[in-house]
Structure 1
Amino acid sequence: MTRRLLQAVAALALLLVALAALVWWLNVRGEPDLAAAPLDVPASAEQIARGAYLAKAGNCAACHTSRGGAPYAGGLPIPTPFGTVYGSNLTPDPQHGLGGWSATAFWRAMHHGRSRDGRLLVPAFPYTSFTEITRADSDALFAYLRSLPAVAEPNRPHALRWPYNQQAALAVWRALYFRPGTYQEEPAQTPEWNRGAYLVRGLGHCVACHTTRNAWGASNERLPLSGGLIPMQNWYAPALTAASEASVADWPLADVVALLGTGVSPRGWVSGPMAEVVLRSTQHLSAQDLTAMARYLQTLPQKPAPAPPPRTAPSLEIATLGRQVYDNRCARCHGDTGQGAGGVYPPLAGNRGVTMASTANLIQVVLHGGFAPATAGNPRPFGMPPFVLALSNQEVAAVLTYVRGAWGNNAPGVSELDVNQLRSTTQ
């Protein structure tokens, strides 16, 4: 690289830094510091109860409660591709929590992604979805959090790499990928559909997992709910807009409601990160809200199924090994021909979860087990034990290759490299 080219690169870098600083300054100019905002009037019992329900709908405790810690006291490490983010203390502690906050400051955090003092919040806090909730729901949620026991748990600073830990970088990100806006009802749709859309798009923040992200961590707004690999967890959240993945457009409405409310239905069951969502969140929602969400999910625009990639016949060694592993480890529950067992163990023949293009979930389930959540409607779920210590990478790849090509399934095989990558990177 010549000296002139190096000078040009340095000049461009300085220009980008200056631009980032300008965008940051424009973002924070005139923003009031709400640190000294007056406290609000006491909330009513009805508002607090409403907020408790909304906290379940938003699954707030999942990120703001550390393992073994007090509810909503923060401290949970959340790994991201840009470093580790820590859930903040949402209890009413005056020093570390929301004790000195007002409803207006809380609304600004939810709607605009700004802290009480005007600082920009990292988008691991899904304000890009929460921006759609109403002010009344934000106030109710705040009233509930202020009713919790105060816990003097200091907030841990995020451990993000440079430049992702800079306010200027966050300002540039927001300029590119975020616009605040409250949910606007669709007049052509029913109130039930609009309620479902409000929950799915807003508090439910389903797009956070079920949509692909770019290199900067922003969701693809042109393809919402079209499926994506969950960063750092290595689970694939399947597309809710594709019949070949997780669309429920052709399901009976009652089956969709059952899946959201109990984790199991005649058409399938949830595991992995979605099992936690059902456990902590959707099982606690009313039948009316679950039905509304189901109605909305059934009307999502469907994308055409892509042509399946060709399946290459495995070698005789892999085919034989895969069949042997299946007969010894899997057939007892899933049947000799992959037919499953009476609604207890799912069939593998014709199962779209088996033949999806992404094999991440299959590998995860074989290695680490797969269990539906224990819910009020399904208190003792059946599950699949982990084989991470019992099967080698070759055996896992072979059995999955066999299953994806048996009993009418016609999906490409799984390689040892695929298995090794997930085995070595799963947290």
Structure 2
Amino acid sequence: MKKLPISIVLVLLASVSYSQETKLKATVDPSVIAKGEYLARAGDCIACHTAPEGRTFAGGRAMPTPFGTLYTSNITPDAQTGIGKWSADDFYKTMPDGRFPDGGLLYPAMPFASYTKVTRADSDAIYAYLQTVEPVSQKDREHELSFPYNNRSLVLGWRTLFFREGEFRPNEDKSEEWNRGAYLVEGLGHCGMCHTPINALGGSSDSEAFKGGLIPMQNWYAPSLTSNKEAGLGDWSIKDITDLLQKGVSARGAVYGPMADVVYNSLQYLSDEDTKAMAVYLKSIAQDSPEPPSSRLPRSESSLLISLGKTVYDGQCASCHGSKGEGRPPHYPPLAANQSIQMESAVNAIRMVLNGGYAPGTKGNPMPHGMPPFAVTLSDNEVAAVVSYIRTSWGNRGTTVSADEANELRKAPLQ
């Protein structure tokens, strides 16, 4: 029997894949697929399941953790290396329960503790959409975890301690809009993955929900969403909140670091209605907070820092952010009365001075202004001084920082 040329075989295989996709599109209501695409955006699936320079949803993205490096999985409809053979039931088992179709356990870097709140209808819509994306033949990469964390059965213990399975249940005392916002923030948006502090076992508790914490291995601080002294939005207008979520900038400030990626990949694509619902919910969970602690530095050292900091600020920062920290929003955010400047953790402020950065390019802010890095031009003492000056001037109630803190972040790898 004469063998077919490899080029013809590849064309036939592609035709089979195309016909499968066409068949699915023909049997599934297009509105369900469109809904699934929207929900996949809301869940920011692309951020984890697409490696830098990689194929969309083909996985392989490295996820550094304190326990080793995890690599995300291929969720394209490739039959051999992706989820092409999965049923909607299989997919739903993974989303809210954190298990593979064969019952195997997922590591909790996959936010199934949040996705457990996702409804079956929304899970099915996401599944229908993923079955229509381009299939990519790419085997999942083995995780690189240290002992004993490479023993996947230990996840059973983690689940016992920290996982509570259950679909989102609306609060009957709240509005439909509030409940929609809660569903998006607590469930699909999995905001708690960053904004809730985690313990040494990588777990968190409901009592600490959204109270902020350092993002492991990334050297960025995810501020508290409940504290009005951090990112609590109790005194923000709904428009300021929605602008920040959709555009990445508002009259109150701008997003940088990991949050900029969230806005770029996910939040800018949400509808005005869903963005407003999230804003209503986020505004409602903000609480009054105690005043920040006093400076950890001796008074004399603190005074010298502030004096040097003003000199650095006047020479390097005032031309954009104003002599009194008033800024020029939305291009240059204000520093006076800016909650992100005054947080108990100064990590983000130090990172921005050292490394600079851009707000995300979005539909509402397609040409964002950026901040240059000063790591080369400023010493550790100067970085600490200017951050201390910004955190304590114009009515800001932050604390001073030390040169050692600046040096520690200067040496830390960028994520």
Whether TM exceeds 0.5 here: the answer is: yes
> Aligned to 2:379, which of 378, 389, 392?
392
After TM superposition, give the deviation of residue 422 of structure 1 in Å.
Answer: 1.5
- Partner Cα distance (1:80, 1:65) in 2: 18
Q: Judge conservation of contact 2:252–2:334 (CA < 8 Å) in 1.
A: no
> Aligned to 1:63, which of 34, 45, 48?
48
Cα-to-partner distance string for 1:149-189 (whole Å, 9 max, x where unaligned)? 11001100111111112122111111111121000111111
After TM superposition, give the deviation of residue 55 of structure 1 in Å.
Answer: 0.6
- Partner Cα distance (1:286, 1:162) in 2: 44
- Partner Cα distance (1:134, 1:343) in 2: 37
Structure 1 residue 355 corresponds to structure 2 residue 333: no
> Aligned to 1:172, which of 130, 136, 157?
157
One-letter code aligned to 2:366: P
In structure 2, the partner of 1:106 is 91
In structure 2, the partner of 1:291 is 276
Cα-to-partner distance string for 1:279-315 (whole Å, 9 max, x where unaligned)? 1101100111111111111111525324532464353
Partner SS, residue 64 of structure 2: strand
One-letter code aligned to 1:282: L
Q: Judge conservation of contact 2:162–2:205 (CA < 8 Å) in 1.
A: no
Structure 1 residue 215 corresponds to structure 2 residue 215: no
In structure 1, the partner of 2:368 is 381
Segments of 5+ residues of structure 2 without an aligned counterpart are 1-22
Q: Judge conservation of contact 2:292–2:398 (CA < 8 Å) in 1.
A: no
> Aligned to 1:146, which of 131, 148, 156?
131
Q: What do you get for the CA RMSD once the two structures are aligned?
A: 1.8
- Partner Cα distance (1:156, 1:104) in 2: 25
Cα 1:287–1:322 shift into 2, 3 Å? same
One-letter code aligned to 1:417: D
Q: Judge conservation of contact 2:178–2:281 (CA < 8 Å) in 1.
A: yes
Structure 1 residue 313 corresponds to structure 2 residue 303: no
After TM superposition, give the deviation of residue 251 of structure 1 in Å.
Answer: 1.6
After TM superposition, give the deviation of residue 199 of structure 1 in Å.
Answer: 0.6
Q: Judge conservation of contact 1:61–1:72 (CA < 8 Å) in 2.
A: yes
> Aligned to 1:423, which of 390, 393, 410?
410
Structure 1 residue 365 corresponds to structure 2 residue 334: no
Partner SS, residue 402 of structure 1: helix
After TM superposition, give the deviation of residue 116 of structure 1 in Å.
Answer: 1.7
After TM superposition, give the deviation of residue 391 of structure 1 in Å.
Answer: 1.8
Task: Show the 5 A alignment for 1:21-40.
Answer: none
Structure 1 residue 206 corresponds to structure 2 residue 226: no
- Partner Cα distance (2:370, 2:300) in 1: 29
After TM superposition, give the deviation of residue 417 of structure 1 in Å.
Answer: 1.4
- Partner Cα distance (1:149, 1:177) in 2: 35
In structure 1, the partner of 2:181 is 196
Structure 1 residue 340 corresponds to structure 2 residue 327: yes
Structure 1 residue 80 corresponds to structure 2 residue 65: yes
In structure 2, the partner of 1:228 is 213
Structure 1 residue 137 corresponds to structure 2 residue 122: yes
After TM superposition, give the deviation of residue 394 of structure 1 in Å.
Answer: 1.8
- Partner Cα distance (1:307, 1:391) in 2: 27
Structure 1 residue 262 corresponds to structure 2 residue 250: no
- Partner Cα distance (1:281, 1:414) in 2: 34
Cα-to-partner distance string for 1:393-416 (whole Å, 9 max, x where unaligned)? 222112112222323334321111
Partner SS, residue 84 of structure 1: strand
- Partner Cα distance (2:369, 2:189) in 1: 26
Partner SS, residue 206 of structure 2: coil
Cα 1:353–1:81 shift into 2, 3 Å? same
Segments of 5+ residues of structure 1 without an aligned counterpart are 1-38
Cα 1:61–1:390 shift into 2, 3 Å? same
Cα 1:179–1:342 shift into 2, 3 Å? closer
After TM superposition, give the deviation of residue 339 of structure 1 in Å.
Answer: 2.3
After TM superposition, give the deviation of residue 350 of structure 1 in Å.
Answer: 2.6
Cα-to-partner distance string for 1:77-104 (whole Å, 9 max, x where unaligned)? 0101111111110101111100111111
Cα 1:175–1:410 shift into 2, 3 Å? closer
TM-score by length of 1: 0.87
Q: Judge conservation of contact 2:59–2:71 (CA < 8 Å) in 1.
A: yes
Structure 1 residue 248 corresponds to structure 2 residue 233: yes
TM-score by length of 2: 0.90
Partner SS, residue 222 of structure 1: helix
- Partner Cα distance (1:73, 1:62) in 2: 11
Q: Judge conservation of contact 1:214–1:220 (CA < 8 Å) in 2.
A: no
Cα 1:233–1:314 shift into 2, 3 Å? farther
Q: Judge conservation of contact 1:207–1:219 (CA < 8 Å) in 2.
A: no
- Partner Cα distance (1:155, 1:238) in 2: 33
**Count of residues paired in the alignment:** 389
